[in-house]
Structure 1
Amino acid sequence: MGLTPSMSKPSELHSAQVERVFQSFWLSFGTRFTERYSMVMEEAGKRHDVGIRGAKTGWAMRFARERLTDEDVERGLAGVGANPPSLDEFVAMCRPQWVIRNAFREAVSQLTLRQSGQDSWTHPAVYWAAMDVGHWDMTHLGHDQLIGRFEEAYRRRLADPDIAPVPAAVPSLPAPGRGEADREKVRAELEKIWSIPGLRSKRQSDRR
């Protein structure tokens, strides 16, 4: 699928939004924020922070893809806590309910796929929030019963700077009586058993 113009190149609106955000973060956090991206290089005899410049472009492209409004960005800035957020975390602050609903749907669907080892997660916070709620609850209870608990867990996990990656899935065994066996392999194994001296004669007598 090709990129639309709004996805491939940020608009002036979203570039201006990012400038506002980066300025706010600089005033609040200083180098605690900028050191994540800073990479100073010399161009035409002048030093430029190409890392920050690239980060601003990346943030603006994400803002464009999410179609964030000025109101969304202000909501996000109002939700910033004591630590500088990542891009994913800030977007979640800008559109919390939209992000949480999507994260919840992802969690439910990926937990089902995880049983066969086919799950794919957009962020570890989605997986760990689902684990905090509980696998059984996530796969058996309804949306209204779960969304409040999931939202609380998701916000907490998303804000964790040391969040662990999603562990590799271990495909679950089929329930008793639900598995399928290879008939030829079973027949071959039975023949081996019946070939044991003593059992063969018993088998023949049982057939009479």
Structure 2
Amino acid sequence: MNLTTESSTSTNALPEAWIERLFERMLLEYGKRFGDQWAQANMDKLIAHWAAELAGYSGAELKRGVDALASRDWPPTLPEFKRMCRPPVDPMRAYYEAVAGVQARFAGEHGTWSHPAIYWAAMPMAVELREQTFSAVKARWETALADQLGRGEWETIPAPMLQLTAPGQSTTSSAKAREAIKQLVGQIVHKPADGDPKGWARRILDRHKAGEKITPTQLSMAQDALQAGA
């Protein structure tokens, strides 16, 4: 069942063909239980009602609801299916996830994000999340999270960029970054015999393409060097 190839708006009902495919999927999943649940309903009106009520739900949200059918023994009602598409997010739990995620991003790591809305709500508040308590940021955090959850669709969480800590805040990640820079400086100073001043950068990219683990700092510096003018 493919519910992601078309788009809908918050003002228009979903195409009824989507709902028909959704009901077909439920019939296959639940058999007689699905038939018994809606035996007394006018199917045309039922489909039109679901299509209208699910207006504004994105393809990704509908897919989340369809995927959740596998964990249920009985077919969902419309309110239940809505919650399956848009599962509630507890603001306090999301806050602690965001704090851990922000710390990971500052260390150049991706972080664990159970919902993209948590990431996009967290990034503009990264400093506050690192330095303030939940009670201090509660109102703003809940507003930011609700705004993001209301969007329905989110951009892909980007790959992290290594960020060095401020002076005096020594961490393992900054130590690794300094070591990576030291190695790069050594490679630049000791130029290869072939006279290619950017050979060190090419070799780093070759090692990266070969699957060797390269630090974000090394990779970024090598790419910047090759993109710069001769």
* Structure of higher CA gyration radius: 1
* TM-score normalised per structure 2: 0.43
